[in-house]
Structure 1
């Protein structure tokens, strides 16, 4: 029965591929009026210059419509007009009065894509003179358009007798946007990395499990230079003493994997990016409530982010040395699953008392960061994980939580977040956290009981396994990895959060001084 169901699903999905966003193209002059026109405007006077290629009748009609609607030109405001000139739709997007940044330009592109999604025909966006302070303004708009236009409907039925209108796949052409000639390099690679992450997160867990995650990663990197990919299986992880990740996966018929993607485009010590990759999280023996459990297919968003980042860097041939480690497991509650009270040993020899099997992400990352530090001797380690609900209680869905043992490293990550719009808020690591996580029978507990600073304690646990004095940071993305409301460049659903942030961080990374090695006991 399972084989028949799989065959039916494969047949269905073969007939219904995921729909891509409109392709992005660039031009120096506006094409003949057709389809939709997008005008980003910061004030009424900009219509004359940005709309200079339009005939005077069309331009005057737009001006009258803006005045009649009392359009405020505030950042993100939109006005959709019909029946003007030869355009089926004209969309005006407010850009505000503040200088435009790369992140704001991406928002303009994303808004343009969503506002014209139903247009049957091409889309033209007039960007001449827009954001002269951003050298690749056109490319940034293009990134936003592709990210904002993202959809995932692979499993939806599509009636072959009612084909998709051809005009829905017509290009979005950016006219006069500086830097468009370089779009096929770094910007296109960045969007590919984000979309890889979104696809992996959105796929159901019966389609993507640890081994399948590895398979899809290999496929995404096929033909990309200077990349080596390894996947440690159960036998190899057991040989390496990775009892922490093995304990998480032992309740599932789908065994764990430790995926290592090494892109060597530069010299020097690499930056290690480690991602939590729980392809489904039932909570294990400490079973989660059923409500909302379906979303736990996305508990591998950290792993998706690190491989998406590596793909972006490698495909754009960035001059960097980076290692992405995806710690992949499925957390299930069968008769062989780990129990609360069990003790396991991590790769670096430290022992863990399992208090709660639903605090599993930190367990897989314990082995990932320890292995990454010992094998690669990195310049820095950054882990990223959908780790705690507590971080959402503290920061909502606007910020990811940032923890670090190095101020300069935290500053570089925060700067990358500001530049990309994936912003971070630093939260504390405190000596008292070690006391809260002290175990009477092992080196550390994986969870503290009672009312406690959950996000900080989770970060402390992971940092405890970075014991060689390496600069380290932890990003808790539990509240930002899945959107229940759309943003200009992030439709509802999987955000692919972290790819833009980490891509920028690695490109701009400057080595920082090491820190004092971690103590050998959680109580010290």
Structure 2
């Protein structure tokens, strides 16, 4: 998809389809819209062919007095729109465009359309919304379904063209990161395994000279003392790998992203129920989001120092797999009693968290993981859980999520919950019982991040959609992470 910015008048714009956001009273119609077109739209409303209700669309062929071949009206409902409603409205417009046969289209910006957001925000987030609405994953179909013919999308508006171009560049970068995250998440587990992710990292490094990649093999991890990581990885014939991507766009201590990438999670000896187990290919969503954020950062050439660590393993129940009751020693020296082998994400993460602190001395560490079903129960699919040992870091992530419509919700990390992890035989257990499962998982990770500013994102509810036509990876929380890193770079 090619995107562009234009300051042309709509009366002179030649395009396959001009898209207009229209409310019930047609108050949003631009002043430079030809009188004949305005009259035509008002007549359509009067005749009740179009109401302007939220997300309603109407395609008008050969609109009056316009050089555009088609006019697509998209209803706004109440004004101004909430940011999330804007994204949904634009997605509805793209669905109508896909059916129209249009090869190129133009969206007319309006500074009063979205509550508390200007046209720069509309361009940035609109670019991502269009890209996400057009996304397809059909590389494994013998005969791929016919996709949308749409290849060009232009934003029409007044203002600083340089500022609009920069907003567009940012939107395209985040969209590219989201697409990579979705592509990795949607890969079947017989194709996407730890070594495959390593190949993807090396491919990124070839595309972006500022990115350097290194790998810790499972054998090396065992020699280094990563007993927790290896306890998960050893049950699979496919070796676990810890993938490190370092982007050095600035000097000084780095910010670190650490992603859980369990490329398939059977639950291990604590085997999961069979129903829906195909979705356990998405258990590498945290690692996929790290890949997406790295790509976006490279596209934007952000002036930051970033170290991204992806802890990749398969959790399989073979004869070498860890058992409930096993005790392992983590890289930090702390011992863990494994009471449930399906609580494996925190095991691969804790050694990766320790390693990145020992090796790179980051000023901030953020880990991302599809960690607990309890998080899905608590927050559903709308918000990822945000835990942090630093108030300002939590606020920065939450603000980034609000701005990018990739929202999070603050969760408690109180010492009161820590005792649920007590073990009679080791320093801690890897589960904290049936209550507050997402919180105790975060408490577990907090024991490996006491000396650094740290946040944990539990994305079990947001990383993928489970059913229906939309089933698949969402690309979250790439927008939140990228917005946070952009804000960090600008500060």
Normalised TM-score (structure 1): 0.84
Cα deviation, residue 109, structure 1: 3.9
Which residue in the other structure is 1:498 paired with?
477
- Tell me, yes or no, if the aligned pair for 2:264 and 2:283 is still in contact at 8 Å: yes
- Gap change, CA 1:411 and 1:48, over 3 Å in 2: closer
Cα deviation, residue 389, structure 1: 0.7
- Tell me, yes or no, if the aligned pair for 1:116 and 1:123 is still in contact at 8 Å: no
Cα deviation, residue 134, structure 1: 3.9
Which residue in the other structure is 1:440 paired with?
424
- Gap change, CA 1:67 and 1:245, over 3 Å in 2: farther
CA distance in 2, matches of 1:354, 1:40: 55
Match of 2:179 among 195, 201, 211: 195
Match of 2:17 among 29, 36, 49: 36
Establish whether residue 254 from structure 1 lines up as the match of residue 238 from structure 2.
yes
- Tell me, yes or no, if the aligned pair for 1:139 and 1:177 is still in contact at 8 Å: no
- Gap change, CA 1:99 and 1:114, over 3 Å in 2: closer
- Tell me, yes or no, if the aligned pair for 1:194 and 1:496 is still in contact at 8 Å: yes
1:35-60: CA deviation from partner (whole Å, max 9, x where unpaired): 3331123563445416x34x433332
1:192-214: CA deviation from partner (whole Å, max 9, x where unpaired): 11110000000100111001011
- Tell me, yes or no, if the aligned pair for 1:148 and 1:491 is still in contact at 8 Å: no
Establish whether residue 399 from structure 1 lines up as the match of residue 383 from structure 2.
yes
Which residue in the other structure is 2:76 paired with?
94
SS in 2 for 1:298: helix
1:54-102: CA deviation from partner (whole Å, max 9, x where unpaired): x43333222222333386656x52222344526456232417423775x
- Gap change, CA 1:177 and 1:113, over 3 Å in 2: farther
CA distance in 1, matches of 2:311, 2:381: 25
Cα deviation, residue 485, structure 1: 7.0
- Gap change, CA 1:269 and 1:107, over 3 Å in 2: farther
Which residue in the other structure is 1:380 paired with?
364
- Worse-superposed segment, 496-505 or 219-228: 219-228
Establish whether residue 472 from structure 1 lines up as the match of residue 454 from structure 2.
yes
CA distance in 2, matches of 1:92, 1:474: 39
Establish whether residue 25 from structure 1 lines up as the match of residue 7 from structure 2.
no
CA distance in 1, matches of 2:489, 2:391: 13
Unpaired runs of 5+ residues, structure 1, are 1-21, 513-524
Match of 1:65 among 41, 44, 67: 44
- Gap change, CA 1:157 and 1:193, over 3 Å in 2: same
Which residue in the other structure is 1:5 paired with?
none
Which residue in the other structure is 1:325 paired with?
309
Alignment of 1:193-272 (within 5 A): 193-272=177-256
Establish whether residue 119 from structure 1 lines up as the match of residue 119 from structure 2.
no
CA distance in 1, matches of 2:354, 2:305: 19
SS in 2 for 1:154: coil
CA distance in 2, matches of 1:391, 1:72: 39
CA distance in 2, matches of 1:37, 1:354: 59
- Gap change, CA 1:426 and 1:454, over 3 Å in 2: same
1:342-361: CA deviation from partner (whole Å, max 9, x where unpaired): 11111111111110000000
Which residue in the other structure is 1:158 paired with?
143
Match of 2:394 among 400, 410, 420: 410
State the aligned residue count: 478
CA distance in 2, matches of 1:434, 1:393: 21
Unpaired runs of 5+ residues, structure 2, are none
- Gap change, CA 1:177 and 1:151, over 3 Å in 2: farther
Alignment of 1:341-380 (within 5 A): 341-380=325-364
CA distance in 2, matches of 1:361, 1:408: 26
Which residue in the other structure is 1:9 paired with?
none
CA distance in 2, matches of 1:322, 1:32: 43
CA distance in 1, matches of 2:155, 2:285: 31
1:83-140: CA deviation from partner (whole Å, max 9, x where unpaired): 4526456232417423775x66554543332231222223423324435834354343
1:415-441: CA deviation from partner (whole Å, max 9, x where unpaired): 111111111111112223221111111
SS in 1 for 2:386: strand
Cα deviation, residue 177, structure 1: 6.5
- Gap change, CA 1:128 and 1:427, over 3 Å in 2: closer
Establish whether residue 144 from structure 1 lines up as the match of residue 125 from structure 2.
no
CA distance in 2, matches of 1:421, 1:47: 24
